[in-house]
Structure 1
């Protein structure tokens, strides 16, 4: 798009892909590869998938939404290419942009077609040799071998690869083969500008900020970039400043009480046989909880050692500094393929359960209001952070986590009759949520797609409430106080449920809600509040909901 004198004779999209991946911010057009840890045996694996994000930022909720986003993208490409002083005519530039957008739409269509009837992408594990035969027209081995050579890892055709969205990967080679070299070159070129341009050219950065019409956006973008490239340093400083000894003691106390509550629920589950119950309790006992503490950095000396491979980073050249840091992190991710343990950025505002390790963890960023404040009433903290911890613990026993044993190995440890009843209870949640209509869009929920997190939402709520009552009674009754002023009208039990609901107070555009209903494993926020509380006898008691009323229905779904 830059020059009308471009010669396509020597151009090869494979070489261009490798260059952008290894030399330019680890940009991976057309398909993405990464290193993860296998849920089956906890070993690292090489994964290949369809692109995780499009130029449009997501999928379209309607035809009008599609046209609107295409128009915005077309103007953005044209403005930025003109800023780079292209000598193309308007007609040629428009034609090039049309081809980029067409290819992007075709790739998005392929990605969507790869979903099954429940909205999931299928996955499979095969060798690169088999991948070459089944997913033609892409030299997978050449690409991966060259990329991993940068960290001295040898890849051969016997390398196992987890393919996520195989339908897309089978078709992408054919799609690329049918494109002109000019289209492929322009697509990759725009991918670089899209990902890297705002870091190098102020006008591009300003355009990104102006799109949001928000004075704080530039500051937020800078914060996000800093967190991305220096996350270990930030988590270290954050930990030193905000994680007090009292706060750490609180969190581990909450975790212990939550596990005690689930253990009691397992004891009371009369539908379970004794052997399966014992195995579930043993798995719970062995579950590891990592509450925001870095795995490997405890001193400033260890922090310096972690960043030592980057060498000197000059503050005078932002672009080179950014590229250097992205190369550093990109190579660290590649090295995971021959390492035993997985690391995650602990500054992220998130929590997760890893079934392959029987481990749950909270990122440091989540340890702040409204999730947690060490001086807040117990009801607020249990409704906040403890319900989140309970959610993650419950994932160890949801429809997916229940397939893994105490060591994190995939293993059927269930008695046949107990498993049958368990599946009936899971089906109750699937049916219940499938009958819920999202109020803004009027669309029905996909209860099958969201069942794992729905079970965790319900389990987390029940565990947190039971743990709260026992913890307040036996451990710290002095912390079980009400909030002042207008909030003093609410009981501590009511404050617990209000604190849970407060976690999900967010504003979304209608288009965003519609898109999330199509692919998010979580139910919409309003549903994540209302349905678990409808299933809670304790909520009905706390707010005096009459039997048969909307928030106290006769039929409730309960697992743990």
Structure 2
């Protein structure tokens, strides 16, 4: 994030004052306008009121009633303009190059509630403090009493959270297919999926029907959520959307909304101020792939105006070696994959495609965004001004400008559906460019952001093996996930087909059960399927990363005898193996404390210490590196191994 701001300053110094209207100048304008939006806003209610009207939230907040049947267009408008996603997340994913009409998929997933984000961010937070938080936020744009509406919003979010949990009986069931027709999802007099999608995607022109296929990332959630779409919760859902819209626009609402900034994004950046992080997050939402391009230009000690490819080449090689390592373990019968399924697993590994962040240049993205602007724009262009002239957007309230840019971005995103000509860059991935991670798509694409190597690029142009525990972690997780439970419903041709045999399922469940026995018992009823799978993946990846590192150091003839002086505060020398594990822990730990980790457990989220320590205690190489005594916590007598 710091590099991004430095890049902006460098670009202005290189090019002079920006007078042209292009996506990069718009990115910079949004970012700096947001950074400066710290003063009081005298009429937040009126500014937000106009936005609420566009998405169909008419009337004084909190709303007392919403007409039956009106919920569908309201949710569709909120999702289209501001991606509010009050009940579920939806995205349009590009799965093929242009020239193939219909080369897009609709992907549905469980939502991320502000309730969960709040309770896992503050010590001593509870339902009462969160309800106060919601009421305070809604009072930013109304003089009415908001307490009752706030409590109902909290109850709605708690229900949504409960829908994500699986019962013990559901955990015993075989994996479910992810592809489904809309008529396979719940229908009621109050909810119609084709109406929702045809309202959300203007380019669909009514073409989305009950036979349209979608991909469900969380089948358990969508089976459970029908109870909130019967009409009883409609008014609460509408008020929830207004509340989420206020939070979404908080970076441009001035000092009264300053306390909301940390809830506009789902990642922590402890070394930067909340406003700086929130403004960069806002900028990325408005220029998704463009932010990825800009971040790629920062990969080096000096900024470049054309993308460098040295990291693409290195990560591509690491990806291929990682596939080879996993493939060897499967081929030799050392994985959970049954011999009956070995051929499918190996073909799927070979078919996976790796992509390192944004892959186009500034000109290509500018052409794409310029051709995607809807004809009914309501603000003047940002360019065509002299060097000393005021920016045209300064004539308008900042929330209105931000909403205009949201609408422009949404038109490019949603209306790519069905296009045979749009490059659809913003539809390529959803992960952020500002933190390490990965995104495994059902199409076989595995994307890793530039943030994965940002710290390396400031030190060296080469990724040393001792850093594989940091740099290769995301891609290795994606490779394992393709073969884990969630990947069992997509075969080697990336079609919807359950390819696991009983032998693979039983072996996987036995390993998973063993791993869960090493974690703390859940604090609440039910289990989060995603967390269970991530616990499995964490354990599988720890061994793979160490194997990858060891193979590389052996080929370099470095061995375990090499040392690095001064790595610890007291100056002791570290072996390369110890450095590898310290890097692993540093990359995967977070900045929370014990109380917040316990709050995460209430939501069935595995806290960072367990995601680090449990995989390491199951890895003999860790005990050897630090000379742990047999029977100690990090050298248990019984280990749970994903690889034989």
TM bin, normalised by shorter chain, reads 0.7 to 0.9
2: CA distance, partners of 1:456 / 1:320: 44
Structure 1 contact 434–445 (Cα < 8 Å) conserved: no
**Residue-pair matches, total:** 530
Provide, for residues 128-177 of structure 1, a one-character-per-residue CA deviation record: whole Å limited to 9, x for no partner. 56767x43323554443333236646334444456763455422233x44
Shift of residue 471, structure 1, vs aligned partner: 1.6
Secondary structure at the counterpart of residue 447 of structure 2 = strand
Q: How does 1:287-326 map to 2 (within 5 A)?
A: 287-292=352-357, 294-295=358-359, 297-298=360-361, 300-308=362-370, 309-310=372-373, 312-313=381-382, 314-316=392-394, 317=396, 318-326=398-406
Provide, for residues 44-63 of structure 1, a one-character-per-residue CA deviation record: whole Å limited to 9, x for no partner. 44456665324674568999
Shift of residue 501, structure 1, vs aligned partner: 0.9
Provide, for residues 407-453 of structure 1, a one-character-per-residue CA deviation record: whole Å limited to 9, x for no partner. 22244555x5xx52662354233233234228xx9899969653322
Structure 1 contact 377–480 (Cα < 8 Å) conserved: no
Call closer, same or farther: CA 1:161–1:429 in 2, change over 3 Å.
closer
TM-score (norm 1): 0.78
- Runs of 5+ unmatched residues, structure 1: 87-92
- Which residue of the partner structure matches residue 541 of structure 2? 460
2: CA distance, partners of 1:372 / 1:456: 30
- Which residue of the partner structure matches residue 516 of structure 1? 600
Structure 2 contact 178–496 (Cα < 8 Å) conserved: no
The answer to whether 1:77 aligns with 2:120 is no
Secondary structure at the counterpart of residue 35 of structure 1 = strand
- Which residue of the partner structure matches residue 90 of structure 1? none
Single out whichever of 65-74 and 184-193 deviates more from structure 2: 184-193
Shift of residue 242, structure 1, vs aligned partner: 0.6
Q: How does 1:16-415 map to 2 (within 5 A)?
A: 17=74, 20-21=77-78, 25-27=82-84, 29=86, 33-36=90-93, 44-46=104-106, 51-54=111-114, 57=117, 65-78=126-139, 80-81=140-141, 86=143, 93-94=144-145, 97-114=146-163, 115-117=165-167, 134-149=187-202, 152=205, 154-160=207-213, 165-166=221-222, 169-174=225-230, 176-177=231-232, 188-196=241-249, 198-199=250-251, 201-208=253-260, 216-242=273-299, 244-269=308-333, 276-292=341-357, 294-295=358-359, 297-298=360-361, 300-308=362-370, 309-310=372-373, 312-313=381-382, 314-316=392-394, 317=396, 318-338=398-418, 342-345=427-430, 347-354=433-440, 356-369=442-455, 374=460, 378-413=464-499
2: CA distance, partners of 1:388 / 1:214: 23
TM-score (norm 2): 0.69
1: CA distance, partners of 2:585 / 2:473: 11
Structure 1 contact 21–28 (Cα < 8 Å) conserved: yes
Shift of residue 362, structure 1, vs aligned partner: 0.7
Single out whichever of 229-238 and 350-359 deviates more from structure 2: 350-359
Call closer, same or farther: CA 1:19–1:336 in 2, change over 3 Å.
closer
Q: Residue 428 of structure 1: which of 511, 527, 533 is its match?
A: 511
- Which residue of the partner structure matches residue 584 of structure 2? 500
1: CA distance, partners of 2:456 / 2:229: 47
Call closer, same or farther: CA 1:475–1:203 in 2, change over 3 Å.
same
Structure 1 contact 380–495 (Cα < 8 Å) conserved: yes
Structure 2 contact 540–642 (Cα < 8 Å) conserved: yes
2: CA distance, partners of 1:130 / 1:256: 38
Q: Residue 550 of structure 1: which of 591, 616, 633 is its match?
A: 633
- Runs of 5+ unmatched residues, structure 2: 1-44, 46-58, 96-101, 301-307, 383-391
2: CA distance, partners of 1:20 / 1:143: 9
Structure 1 contact 391–460 (Cα < 8 Å) conserved: yes
Single out whichever of 386-395 and 509-518 deviates more from structure 2: 509-518
Structure 1 contact 377–483 (Cα < 8 Å) conserved: no
Provide, for residues 500-557 of structure 1, a one-character-per-residue CA deviation record: whole Å limited to 9, x for no partner. 111123122556434433445x632111211111111222222222333321223222
Secondary structure at the counterpart of residue 298 of structure 2 = helix
Shift of residue 247, structure 1, vs aligned partner: 3.1
Call closer, same or farther: CA 1:384–1:452 in 2, change over 3 Å.
same
Call closer, same or farther: CA 1:167–1:102 in 2, change over 3 Å.
farther
Call closer, same or farther: CA 1:168–1:445 in 2, change over 3 Å.
closer
Call closer, same or farther: CA 1:475–1:130 in 2, change over 3 Å.
closer
